[in-house]
Amino acid sequence: MARITMREAISQALWEEMERDQSVFILGEEVGVWGGTYAVTKGFYDHFGPDRVRDTPIAEAAIVGAAIGAALTGLRPVAELMTINFAFSAMEHIVNEAAKLHYMFGGQFILPLVIRAVGGGGRQLGATHSQTPDAVFAHFPGLKVVAPGTPEDAKGLLKAAIRCDDPVLFIEHATLYQVRADVPDGDYTVPIGESKIQRPGRDVTIVTYSKMLEISTKAADQLAKDGVEAEIIDLRTLRPLDMGPVIQSFKKTNRAVIVEEGWRSYGVGSEVAARIYEQAFDYIDAPIQRVAQKEVPLPYNRTLEQLALPQVEDVVKAVKEVL
Amino acid sequence: MARITMREAISQALWEEMERDQSVFILGEEVGVWGGTYAVTKGFYDHFGPDRVRDTPIAEAAIVGAAIGAALTGLRPVAELMTINFAFSAMEHIVNEAAKLHYMFGGQFILPLVIRAVGGGGRQLGATHSQTPDAVFAHFPGLKVVAPGTPEDAKGLLKAAIRCDDPVLFIEHATLYQVRADVPDGDYTVPIGESKIQRPGRDVTIVTYSKMLEISTKAADQLAKDGVEAEIIDLRTLRPLDMGPVIQSFKKTNRAVIVEEGWRSYGVGSEVAARIYEQAFDYIDAPIQRVAQKEVPLPYNRTLEQLALPQVEDVVKAVKEVL
Amino acid sequence: MEKSEYLELYRQMVVIRLVEEQSAQLYQQGKIGGFLHLYIGQEAVSTGLISLRQPQDRVITAYRDHGVAINCGISAREVLAELMGKATGSSKGKGGSMHLADVTKNFWGGHAIVGAHLPIAAGLALGDQYQKNDGITICMFGDGATNIGYFHEALNLSKVWTLPVLWVCENNQYGMGTSVERASAVPEMRLKADGYGIPNSRADGMDIMAVREATKEAIESVRGGKGPYFLEIITYRFRGHSMGDPERYRQSDEVKKWQENDPIGIYRRYLVEHKIIPENELNTIDEKSEKEVLEAVQLAEADPEPAADELFEHVYVEG
Amino acid sequence: MEKSEYLELYRQMVVIRLVEEQSAQLYQQGKIGGFLHLYIGQEAVSTGLISLRQPQDRVITAYRDHGVAINCGISAREVLAELMGKATGSSKGKGGSMHLADVTKNFWGGHAIVGAHLPIAAGLALGDQYQKNDGITICMFGDGATNIGYFHEALNLSKVWTLPVLWVCENNQYGMGTSVERASAVPEMRLKADGYGIPNSRADGMDIMAVREATKEAIESVRGGKGPYFLEIITYRFRGHSMGDPERYRQSDEVKKWQENDPIGIYRRYLVEHKIIPENELNTIDEKSEKEVLEAVQLAEADPEPAADELFEHVYVEG
Ligand SMILES: Cc1ncc(C[n+]2csc(CCOP(=O)(O)OP(=O)(O)O)c2C)c(N)n1
Ligand SMILES: Cc1ncc(C[n+]2csc(CCOP(=O)(O)OP(=O)(O)O)c2C)c(N)n1
Ligand SMILES: [Mg+2]
Ligand SMILES: [Mg+2]
């Protein structure tokens, strides 16, 4: 066990996989000389060289498109989109090419591709740079969408993604990079498509992922003071979505709150809620609550931005609603 | 009252608005000389001329981007994307520019823009050309998303969209253009953001929109033979989403089936279901059923494609589940 | 060039023409669905181009891909089977006309979103460069595709990274109903290559010998490690953009004028006049090819549809 | 040019410099959040450029927009207020540093997605052309922005439709940490304009007089109805890309070399040597501007935050 930050966990996963497998390489804006806008690939350029750590022009469609092509030749590219907001500039290649090629051509080739993108709000970057559009990408069959909330999961899931023969969108969160936690020593992977109980409890089920795991945990701490034991399920993967642990927990607590950072409408919470109702209808004691971002483009002003983002108090309040 | 096709209804709305208001103009691929790939703008080029019916290069980002700019100067552009699948090539400008500019700049200008795009499957166009990604666009605050299912609504909603000072994505369905129905004479609009009872009934509430209204109506006809009276609510607008008639109906029937053409996960049905549970929890007699597209990229082969798309029988079966 | 090679080029062009004519009929009979884009009139382009590629060279193109598929070695039967959505099709009936491919023959498809395959082509070339293979990537696209952003990002990247890719623009004068001058800032597509400092040239696509000559030079440049090369080939599609095109955008005599330069007729005359192949041998090829293609149609028609559970196959490799 | 005009140019450059230095401090004090991109070193570009626009001419730029905003007539206080997210900011505190705008002054922002504002600029020009206004659109962007697809689609469209738009590329040698030669197929951005048949020229962005000369010619061409024009202006940012840039990608002596060509210093010497304005008058402007900007900082700091209910304002105009 080593106590490291999320940034270090992701950086280690990339580093170790590149050491392990020559076919793994990185391409993206500022991943090389700069060392990564969020310093995730710091030191990579000097160690692995310009062929395996490739700075690109500002051309998101070309970054993802070229990664797709390289993957078709048997390589395992890790394409970095500086932020997930720029994924809209590569939308065609993510949802219409990467997600469909394997199926559309009758499975005659594989597409072992990882697209890393950091998302989330809370840093006053304004409406175009602060989004959490995870549900949008998770809507497309053929793509796998992963969004870890802890350093341990981040490292294990990224390694799994790089070794996976399917295209994986790996979503990081800018305000989680500094989070520190224990990570197993040596090489390990965390399976894609498995939700996990991050905190056991008996009174209410909180379903969340990524940054909101942190918020939900703080809320659970507060609730614990009032004797409420919340069980927190971390989805970790949005597609394929693993409802197993969620349903299991819900059948025990009969109450659920879903916490996501993105907008409520057509978001992650709606899908999870709909599935809980479908799969555990007879266990419901109270309407499931969804905590999500207010439905506005995220404003720059700090106070307004925080008003729009889900806060610990919102989660606590939602839990009290369902109790 | 005149009995016209959906194509004629949309064409009339465009024609009449262009006659009424010089600031309205059309731009897009093949809208002019060709007369529109789906013949919606046939005859427009000769009548209104090349300045108001503008053929563009194949450059979706430029089509939507230029329309945004023109709207900022006080015009009311109607940008046509040949199909909604190409909207991914203009994603940045639809969800990150059009949807946000008014808010992000403190409301100092308006953005009266309409983006027309035809979607849907069922014509063996293959995975990249057959999508119904409506929920993806409806996820973004700042954008209005409309998807009519009848000629009357299509004409009235398109006129409302053109007169609206907000950006509106107007989604048509390729296999509905031939549908014929009565349309009121003269000038009229249908308000954006209002759902509607398209068929009254007392036993079950079917919530749907666009092409699936047709499928749901056929299912309702079948069910009627077995004495089951389904009430069909047509959402018509996906954002802002009007739950009023849905909840009203549900409080009467206590049973609901949501029918959408797109993929189930993170789709329209999940949002509608989640809201029904939130707003009418005490009225639920059976788990709400969702009928949607199988979660695969749509295959070319006709049999497989039809297997993937929601069929009348699927709706009938789902209704019987909830009864 | 060996006589057999001359013959093979002729045979391929004839087979493509026949397959396209059969496809048109099958479409009218409702046996082919979706969009159908015929290659009739452009046969000399891909036939000349691909006749010069090495086995290790990758080929990728747009949705007007039947001819390219045949030149790459996919049988007429597999092509027709895919067009009819059969399990024996090159994409198992899941891709259809716009998505033919056979990677065992280094043909990477068949792509339906205009210009979107250009960045992917850059990636194919990157893969070979990274693995130090000596193969190059030949990427074909239309004149209309040069106006979309993907074209720009791919060409710029190919130059910055000196990628072994041959960009081939099939300029058939129109993108659907929009003529080049109504959609493009410059009249010659090759001029766009100058904006990236990419060497380029232009060839007559109705004359397969001219196509081959230009291609030789282009491929040498790319394989020689000089990075990307841009080849514009002037051609014309004799039929509509796809089946059911009203063709309001062009005059029938313009079409007639071009049809007089039928690439197959031109090549046929060339072979006879230069005494490379006597007329009767060509006639034999015509007859054999016709028989062969009609057989392929029958076989493909008789081929099985994919099984229902194929619907859920190949969404993912794992899980 | 009148003496007063010379003075005004000098004053604007000095004010921009001071506002940027103050912003840097406010950022360090945590009073400004998000990303902050300083214009220090590039003042002569927008000051010279915009000094020649007519009131009916629209201006639009990227996120490095403080200088442009001031040149367009937004007060230092409004700029600083927006940077601090105050209700009195030009975008009511909702846009921040990257989204300054004031359409009453025909300044259309301030756009944070690289290159995405170019198609919008084409649309602004289309709007004027459609309405037969004689205004033109001046669209500024960086060297890095020329590699994204939006650039390509916008430039092509502007030429095909002969739009009254002046494309101005501020080539400050880097896109974040990536130098031009590592990201662009061609070393001069103006060469890309050749690929669209768009007339173009190049100017020294450290010399405001050179900027004005080149701009005059460019604007005349566009206003003359000749369609788009591409102006590349060579400049350099003295500070990091944004606050907190480790600057591993360039040597400090490269920065020093450029700082010796401080655009304000160059212009100052020019004014004195050509006896256009005596040193002491320039000193007075320096002092007045400093006082003015410090005042603006105080006022902006004291300005109110937007009310909480502003959060839900302006999502839509209707409903
Ligand atoms: C991004 C995108 N926009 C629009 C279309 C619709 N479309 C299909 S083919 C075509 C014309 C392409 O013309 P060109 O590139 O010249 O190829 P050609 O058909 O002439 O071979 C268009 C507009 C598409 N498939 N993809
Ligand atoms: C589409 C997109 N990709 C990436 C970014 C991140 N980014 C912001 S500024 C920038 C560099 C732009 O360089 P340049 O165009 O030369 O402008 P400069 O900063 O030098 O003024 C990048 C990559 C972005 N904002 N938008
Ligand atoms: Mg063409
Ligand atoms: Mg720059």
- Mean pLDDT over all residues of chain A? 98
C179: closest chain D residue by CA = D160
**Does A88 contact ligand 2 (Cβ within 6 A)?**
no
Mean pLDDT across D298-310: 98
**Does D182 contact ligand 2 (Cβ within 6 A)?**
no
Per-residue model confidence (pLDDT) at position C175: 98
Instruction: Quickly list DSSP for A229-276.
Output: -EEEEE--EEES---HHHHHHHHHH--EEEEEEEESTTSHHHHHHHHH
Q: For residue B3, what are the β-bridge partners?
A: B182
Mean pLDDT across D218-236: 98
Q: How far is the CA of B85 from the centre of ligand 1 (A)?
A: 13
pLDDT band for position D318 (cuts 50, 70, 90) = confident
B172 is known as an active-site residue:
no
Closest-CA distance of chain A to residue D265, Å: 31
**DSSP-derived pairing of the beta strands A230-234 and A196-199:** antiparallel
Residues in chain C with CB shorter than 8 Å from the CB of B126 are 34, 95-96, 98-99, 112
Mean pLDDT across A27-48: 98
**Does D149 contact ligand 2 (Cβ within 6 A)?**
no
Tell which C residues from 54 to 113 touch B, by Cβ distance under 8 Å: 85-86, 91, 93-96, 98-99, 112-113
Q: Ligand 2, atom 13: nearest CA belongs to which residue?
A: D175
Q: How far apart are CA C179 and CA D115, in angstroms?
A: 27
Nearest CA-CA partner of C243 in C14, C15, C23, C76: C23
Asked if residues A34 and A180 have their Cβ atoms less than 8 Å apart, the reply is no
Averages of pLDDT over each 10 residues, chain B, 323 residues:
97 98 98 97 98 98 99 98 98 98 98 98 98 98 98 98 98 98 98 98 98 98 98 98 98 98 98 97 96 98 98 98 95
Q: How far apart are CA B105 and CA D112, in angstroms?
A: 12
CB-based contacts of C92: which residues, under 8 Å, 6+ apart?
Answer: A106, A107, C306, C310
**Cβ separation B105–D99 shorter than 8 A:** yes
Per-residue model confidence (pLDDT) at position A272: 98
Q: Helix, strand or coil for residue C2? A: coil
**DSSP-derived pairing of the beta strands B168-173 and B196-199:** unpaired
Q: Ligand 1, atom 25: nearest CA belongs to which residue?
A: C113
Asked if residues D193 and D199 have their Cβ atoms less than 8 Å apart, the reply is yes
pLDDT above 90: residue A26: yes
* This model's pTM is above 0.80: yes
Complex confidence, ipTM: 0.98
Asked if residues A187 and A16 have their Cβ atoms less than 8 Å apart, the reply is yes
B129 is known as an active-site residue:
yes
pLDDT tens profile A175-185 = 999 999 999 99
Per-residue model confidence (pLDDT) at position A310: 98
- Note whether C157 contacts A: Cβ–Cβ < 8 A: yes
pLDDT above 90: residue A212: yes
To test the pocket of ligand 1, the residue of C176, C181, C184, C249 to mutate (highest count of ligand atoms within 8 Å of its CB) is: C176
pLDDT band for position D264 (cuts 50, 70, 90) = very high
Per-residue model confidence (pLDDT) at position C318: 80
Asked if residues D222 and D166 have their Cβ atoms less than 8 Å apart, the reply is yes
B94: closest chain D residue by CA = D116
Q: How far is the CA of D209 from the centre of ligand 4 (A)?
A: 22
**Cβ separation A58–D148 shorter than 8 A:** yes
Instruction: Quickly list DSSP for A60-105.
Output: HHHHHHHHHHHHHTT-EEEEEESSGGGGGGGHIIIIIIITTHHHHT
Strand (E) positions, D32-136?
Answer: 58-60
Q: Ligand 2, atom 21: nearest CA belongs to which residue?
A: D142
Q: Helix, strand or coil for residue C107? A: strand
**Cβ separation A304–D246 shorter than 8 A:** no
pLDDT above 80: residue C319: no
Closest-CA distance of chain D to residue C117, Å: 14
**Does A58 contact ligand 2 (Cβ within 6 A)?**
yes
Closest CB from C86, C112, C147 relative to B59? C147
Q: Helix, strand or coil for residue D202? A: strand
Closest-CA distance of chain B to residue A97, Å: 8
Q: How far apart are CA A50 and CA A32, in angstroms?
A: 7
**Does C142 contact ligand 1 (Cβ within 6 A)?**
yes
CB-based contacts of C99: which residues, under 8 Å, 6+ apart?
Answer: A104, A105, B126, B300, C63, C65, C82, C91, C109, C110, C111, C112
Q: How far apart are CA D172 and CA D63, in angstroms?
A: 14
Ligand nearest to the CA of residue C140, numbered in listed order: 1
Q: How far is the CA of C179 from the centre of ligand 3 (A)?
A: 8
pLDDT band for position D278 (cuts 50, 70, 90) = very high
User: Of these residues, B29, B80, B129, B231, which one is catalytic?
Assistant: B129
CB-based contacts of D235: which residues, under 8 Å, 6+ apart?
Answer: D41, D42, D44, D45, D170, D171, D172, D205, D206, D263
Closest-CA distance of chain D to residue C161, Å: 9
- Mean pLDDT over all residues of chain D? 98
Residues in chain A with CB shorter than 8 Å from the CB of C116 are 61, 65, 92-93, 96-97
Residues in chain C with CB shorter than 8 Å from the CB of A59 are 152-153, 156-157
Buried b (16+ CB within 10 A) or exposed e, C25-45: ebbeeebbbbbbbbbbbbbbb
Instruction: Give A307: exposed, middle or buried? Use CB within 10 Å, 0-12, 13-18, 19+.
Output: middle
Q: How far is the CA of C228 from the centre of ligand 2 (A)?
A: 26
pLDDT tens profile C250-280 = 999 999 999 999 999 999 999 999 999 999 9
Per-residue model confidence (pLDDT) at position A43: 98
Q: How far is the CA of B164 from the centre of ligand 1 (A)?
A: 31
Q: How far is the CA of C143 from the centre of ligand 1 (A)?
A: 9
Q: Which atom of ligand 2 is nearest to the CA of A30?
A: 23
Closest CB from A66, A165, A192 relative to C157? A66
Closest CB from D33, D91, D112 relative to A124? D33
**Cβ separation C153–D147 shorter than 8 A:** yes
**Does D113 contact ligand 2 (Cβ within 6 A)?**
yes
Tell which B residues from 47 to 66 touch C, by Cβ distance under 8 Å: 55-61
pLDDT tens profile A124-175 = 999 999 999 999 999 999 999 999 999 999 999 999 999 999 999 999 999 9
Q: Which atom of ligand 1 is nearest to the CA of C143?
A: 16
